[in-house]
Amino acid sequence: MISFGNEWGELKNQTEKERFKAHFLDRLKSLHGKTLAASSDWERYSALASVVRDYISKDWIATKQHYAATHSKQVYYFSIEFLLGRLLGSNLLNLGIKDIFQEVLDELGINLAQVEAQEEDAGLGNGGLGRLAACYLDAMASEHIPGHGCGIRYRYGLFEQKIVNGYQQEYPDNWLKNGYPWEYRRPDEAVEVKFGGNIRIQINGKTEYIHENYESIMAIPYDIPVVGYQNHIANTLRLWSAEVKLQDWVCSGFSRDDCQGTIEYTQTVQNISTILYPDDSSYEGKVLRLKQQYFMVSAGLQSIIRNYKAVNTDIGQLFNHIAIHINDTHPALAIPELMRILMDEERLGWNEAWDITTKTISYTNHTILPEAMEKWPVEMVKTLLPRIFMIINEINERYCRELWGKYPGEWEHIHHMAVIADEQVHMAHLAVVGSHCVNGVAKLHTQILKEQVLADFYHFSPAKFRNITNGVTHRRWLMLSNPSLAALINDKIGPHWIEYPCDMAQLMSYANDTGFQQDVAKIKFQNKLNLAQHIKEKYGVNVDANSIFDVHVKRIHAYKRQLMNVLHIMDLYNRIKDSPSLDIMPRTFIFGGKAAAGYFEAKCTIKLIHALADMVNNDKSIRDKIKVVFMENYNVSLAELIIPAADVSEQIPTASREACGTGNMKLMMNGAVTIGTLDGANIEIRDVVGDENIIIFGLTAREVLNYYRHGGYNSWDIYNSDIRIKTVTEQLINGFFPQGRDEFKVLYDSLLYHNDRYFMLKDFASYVEAQNLLDSRYKDHKMWSKMCIANIAHSGRFAADRVFTKYAMNVWGIRPDDPVRCDCSDDEFMSFHHTGCTRSNQSSSMPLQ
């Protein structure tokens, strides 16, 4: 462990506790001009955060100095999203001072949890992609990897979701309204980003490309320290804000129009970093999205190259000192932008620049959904980014010539692999062609990429492709959100698992221990009581903490099949109405997630959930056997309340559609049992916990893909052959719900007239059977306890620390100074360096299931 400071030593004795107390009270006075008694919880939060910043800054400065002195290879992780969650509790935990701060605040009569609740969730992401990126930053810092994030500082988050009469309504997520205490503005490190204009070619012995008549935008960096777990490492998340060079604009006292024009232009520029995922249903919206993506990569790369050149004179060695990773295709313009910098500014030739670029950049693919494979109109890219388009076009020409050498005369094959085709720039193709490594995020997902979605690229460059299954940080999702369970694990196997999470497998020796089972059950019950209290206070719904808490929390999308879950609840409700004495465990179905503002079908699903909730929650005849709750504005902080309380983890996407999933990992880590399809990481969860500790149903990926490719499925056949399905689908439109016959017709039509694209009706019978099996297993308390413990014990396999150690060694060529904390892999190199957990003997390749 590298030690740069001694915060714990500074605070652990009583004298230092008193010093901190004085420091906190003085900060409260200096920031807000108030005594403790007169201050609000928010003022206490901001003062406490300011004091914690002081402790972080020492390690942050020392970390930068250490990296510079040792010439450590730096990783820059580019992502359009970073869903950080609240940082006060995380920073206290990772600094190793949370307990002692708790003591000090208790002495002052301050409730730390109440103060932590004042922090706004940073509106820098939406769902799994952003949360994954945040977990990975935490893991890199904790694993001593010099890894930093690069993204956009959005003024507003995606939106704040409110439910009004059962309908989702979107409101501005003004998360910065009170400032953000964890960020540092760096105006002295601003860079210029150029849009539009034209390129003048000048030949003076060497061809020069001169960008003229462009729109100039200043990118201002805001840095957030990312604190490693008790290792005195603090890496950096750099976020960019778009601003105007106001000194270039006139606001004359003689012309009101001058000032008005400047104000309007300022607003146009600031729009680039105003909101995550602007509506791209219009041409202007698409342009804004493309601007965001180039703004992020151009600002980030300019900053990286500038810092590199400050200590390295040889730009040709860039890839030996810098690794750039693009998280999905949003940052794929990093490839032509790095080429532009190397050729136009560093004066390298094409071949040398291309060699450096491809050795520097690596790419994670996150989807096989066609609608998520980004493409941009050629004319748009050419107009907005003229020099970048020239480079992309040259990349395409050279790549197609290379393809011609292997596939002479196969025009269709080459067209299918081209970066530019059908007047579109294919960003996934660009990302594959311009990087040295392409990874999928679960074994099944990677196999589908190799065999189908990117099969042509895999056959052309098989060495590029590999799998690295996603992971989550156990520090936030277990230690921070479920401290009682973390303390119990410490009591049973010691704290070694915190740094070596695969050691959690030692808990299996207690799986049959009645006392341990009871201890785990007590913790789960208390977490359920906490959630039940929140639901009562916020929604006025009484839920029974003794009922099964069945949790389905994720982005609302047809392929994630919240609708299938609802259809099952409707069927269960029908069965209870027909047989009031039906012998089932009481069940509380908990939903959460946002629907994209323009996604009508998803918003209709939210309305259906609320309509069903209104019906079953107020029906006295079913005697509270089922309850339905939708928790609005699902975010990281709400997840930290829901996930520790979950008994059942709903992971039910159409097989082959979910690349990986990470909610499944967080829920298993907290002792929830997965009911799911053989998709994404569900397969790998099954492989480690065993068939007896997970409930699997439905079509396999191969079966689904065969239907998509060859047809043969008719949802009307299912409708006509299963009376349960016919009943619940008709209830969507026959007046069963008081909202009217047309309210849910779009959902009805999607199932029947659009042939049930995501096979909800096809999987329905299997899903109901799986739910019945789940009910019977829950009734056997000993069996259920063993299942919960098995999931907790094996969740270390999915720790982000393992994932990023694998990235570091297998993708970026970084060998950590410290021994590897956790690999759990079949990789020979990592196993040689492995410390602290047992190798898995599972094959790294798998057939489609």
pLDDT of residue 206: 85
Q: How far apart are CA 524 and CA 485, in angstroms?
A: 8
Active site (annotated) includes residue 340: no
pLDDT at 826: 45
Higher pLDDT, 262 or 779: 779
pLDDT tens digit string along 325-342? Answer: 999 999 999 999 999 999
Report pLDDT for 818. 60
Residue pair 399/392 in contact (Cβ under 8 Å)? The answer is: no
Cβ–Cβ under 8 Å, residues 678 and 698? yes
In angstroms, what is the C-alpha Rg of the chain? 27
Q: State the pLDDT at residue 186.
A: 97
Is residue 643's pLDDT more than 70?
yes
Residue 840 has pLDDT above 50, yes or no: no
Query: Would residue 620 show up in a list of annotated catalytic residues for this protein?
Result: no
Q: Which of 238, 340, 443, 666 is catalytic?
A: 666
Average pLDDT over residues 3-9: 47
Q: What is the pLDDT of residues 126-182, one digit of tens each?
A: 888 999 999 999 999 999 999 999 999 999 999 999 999 999 999 999 999 999 999
pLDDT for position 247: 63
Distance from C-alpha of 527 to C-alpha of 484, rounded to nearest angstrom: 9
Q: What is the pLDDT of residue 1?
A: 39
Give 61-112 pLDDT, tens digit per residue.
Answer: 999 999 999 999 999 999 999 999 999 999 999 999 998 889 999 999 999 9
Annotated catalytic residue, options 44, 131, 476, 554: 554
What is the band of 209 on the pLDDT scale with cuts at 50, 70, 90? Answer: very high
| Percent of the chain whose pLDDT exceeds 90 | 86
Q: Report DSSP letters for 50-118, one per residue.
A: HHHHHHHHHHHHHHHHHHHHHTPPEEEEE-S-------HHHHHHHHT-HHHHHHHHHHTT--HHHHHTT
pLDDT over 80 (residue 685): yes
**Of the residues 274, 357, 662, 805, which is catalytic?**
662
| DSSP code string of 363-393 | EE-----GGGS-EEEHHHHHHH-HHHHHHHH
Percent above pLDDT 70 for the chain: 93
Average pLDDT value over all residues in the chain: 93
Residue 831 has pLDDT above 50, yes or no: no
Residue 571 in this model has a pLDDT that exceeds 80: yes
Is there a catalytic annotation at residue 538? no
Closest residue by Cα to residue 585 from 778, 729, 794, 842: 778
For range 578-605, the mean pLDDT: 96
**pLDDT band, very low/low/confident/very high, at 294 (cuts 50, 70, 90):** very high
If pLDDT is split at 50, 70 and 90, which confidence band does 11 have?
low
Confidence band of 810 (pLDDT split at 50, 70, 90): very high
Q: What is the distance between the alpha carbons of residues 399 and 395, in angstroms, rounded to a whole number?
A: 6
At position 672, the amino acid (one-letter code) is A
Q: Which whole-number Å values give the CA distances from 517 to 127, 501, 520, 525, 625, in the listed order?
A: 33, 20, 5, 12, 26
> pLDDT tens digits, residue range 759-808?
999 999 999 999 999 999 999 999 999 999 999 999 999 999 988 888 99
pLDDT at residue 376, as a whole number: 97
Look at residue 281 in the predicted model and tell me its pLDDT.
84
The per-residue pLDDT for 829 is 36
Q: Catalytic pick from 474, 557, 560, 794?
A: 560
Give yes or no: 492 in active site: no
Mean pLDDT of 560-584: 97
**Overall pTM > 0.85:** yes
List, for residues 379-400, the tens digit of each pLDDT value: 999 999 999 999 999 999 999 9
Q: Give the active site residue among 366, 429, 436, 476.
A: 366
- With 70 as the cut, is the pLDDT of residue 819 above it? no
Q: What is the mean pLDDT of residues 287-298?
A: 97
Given this model, what pLDDT does residue 815 score?
A: 74
Which of the four pLDDT bands, split at 50, 70 and 90, describes residue 253? low
